Amino acid sequence: MNRPTHRLTGAILAGGRSRRMGRDKAELVLTLPSGERLTMLQQVHRALESVCDETLVVGGPARAGVDARRVADRFPGAGPLAGILSALLDSSNERVFVVACDMPFVDTQAIEGLAALMNDHDAIVPRIEGRFETLHAIYKTDCAAAIRKVLDAGDRRVRSFFSLIDLRIVTEEEFAVIDPGGRSSMNVNYPEEFESAADRLRGTRE
């Protein structure tokens, strides 16, 4: 398997309760154009393992069919920010690409593009239509101290520690270059969104 010249950990957050979906999103099954069937977690993991030196699955129960190191959520119930912190504390690499398990179109080119733009910044996060894509971003393990600080203060918003670090924001124009399809950071929360994404991935809908 080809590896990037930079070392990078891929961390998939899979500890959410999937309330809006009504089912465990990580275990929803997608059909690829080849006919192969993968869970959403397997689909995301496949994209990450082709560009990352190690992959982690953070939170949730043990999953079959995914060859990644399972990391327990050290702060259960504290949301995605705590999941990011757990990934940073367990990463073997300085840089960690964090992604949610409900992003079936996550793209290796987009991951590599973010890594190439990061340079010496503490984190690199796309901002699309004024919204930070915090679960399609790269964070250095040095961010752990800042995250602990805001969590201890009771703030669980992922962006709450951004003012405490050297943040590199990726503009929409920049992100369009590294993700020409415009789908890598797309996530699914509701059944109808999943069905639409499944159709697009299968190739039955543009």
Provide the pLDDT confidence category of residue 98 given band limits of 50, 70 and 90: very high
Out of 3-17, 22-36, 41-55, 178-192, pick the least confident. Answer: 3-17
Q: Which residues contact 67 (CB under 8 A, 6 or more apart)?
A: 45, 49, 55
Token pair listed for 25: 């999103």
How far apart CA 4 and CA 11 sit, in angstroms, is 16
What is the DSSP code (8-state) at residue 189? -
How far apart CA 1 and CA 19 sit, in angstroms, is 36
Q: What is the pLDDT of residue 189?
A: 85
Question: Stretch 103-121: mean pLDDT, rounded?
Answer: 95
Provide the pLDDT confidence category of residue 17 given band limits of 50, 70 and 90: low
Q: What is the pLDDT of residue 20?
A: 66
How far apart CA 127 and CA 147 sit, in angstroms, is 20
Is the pLDDT confidence value at 26 over 50?
yes
Q: Where are the alpha helices (DSSP H) in 9-143?
A: 40-49, 80-90, 108-118
Phi, psi at residue 123, to the nearest 5°?
-160, 155
Q: Which residues contact 185 (CB under 8 A, 6 or more apart)?
A: 103, 106, 110, 126, 128, 133, 136, 175, 179
Q: What is the pLDDT of residue 204?
A: 52
